Amino acid sequence: MPKVKCSELRNKKKEELVKQLESLKGELQSLRVAKVTGGAASKLSKIRVVRKAVARVHIVMHQKQKENLKKFYKNKRLMPLDLRPKKTRAKRRELTKHEKNLKSPKQLHKLRCFPNRVYAVKA
């Protein structure tokens, strides 16, 4: 079996991916049996290739699932934590632009009563 490429897997549908995953797992099982019974060296070296192929299929399935979830939650108010942008802890806790610009009633009163002075400067 030739090496499985992720770019080829991305073009397949979920059912095809599940089917391929099952066939790879079956092949891996038979290779492990061959290993225990003392199979040929070519079969033993193939175990690694099949394991990596299984991992690639899992990766592509997970990526597709996450992509669909991102589309689903795109314009929703709340989003699952793992779909939100990571940033840093400090950036996530930072006040939003709107929250930064809010002013208390006392601040508003001071601004109204004592506006910034405008001076004319002689040139």
Sorting pLDDT into bands at 50, 70 and 90, what band is 32?
very high
- 99, 55 contact by CB (below 8 A): no
The C-alpha atoms of residue 97 and residue 79 are separated, in whole angstroms, by: 20
Residue 58: how many CA atoms within 13 Å on its side-chain side? Answer: 8
Give residue 94's pLDDT: 96
| The model scores a pTM over 0.85 | no
User: 10 Å Cβ neighbour count for 5?
Assistant: 11
- 79, 27 contact by CB (below 8 A): no
Q: Is the pLDDT of residue 57 over 80?
A: yes
